[in-house]
Amino acid sequence: MASNTKLAIELVNKARTALHLEPILDLPKGKKSKANSCPIARGLNNCFDVYTVKLWSTQIDKEIIKSIATSWKQPYYFYGYGHKHIGRYKIICPQELIDWIKDFDDGEYPEYEE
């Protein structure tokens, strides 16, 4: 397994820990150029949207959002209200995850393609 894939798994597992999900040993398979079904999104339980983790306040309390952002050393922000006035937050993904996703979309990891 390439070292950048190992790092991606480590970052995904940091978020999974904060989300109270079991860690994964490998990334799941996914679809290229599909933000909500790429291996990173699936590893993050589909809380993902184009290089940011998108979390709805009814899913997760703000302390969990803060925990993920802190573990990734990344900013998070409130970006408004959605359907039924649900608060929405985003956490900017670490550059390592963004790079892995771009490489995946460019065909670098065929073993992770569905």
| Global model pTM greater than 0.75 | yes
**What pLDDT was estimated at residue 51?**
59
**Number of domains comprising the chain:** 1
C-alpha 86/C-alpha 67 separation (Å) is 20
Does residue 50 have a pLDDT over 90?
no
Helix (H, G, I), strand (E, B) or coil at 106: coil
Range(s) of the domain holding residue 102: 3-112
How do residues 87-96 score in pLDDT, each as one tens digit? 677 788 888 9
The answer to whether 51 and 72 have CB atoms below 8 angstroms apart is no
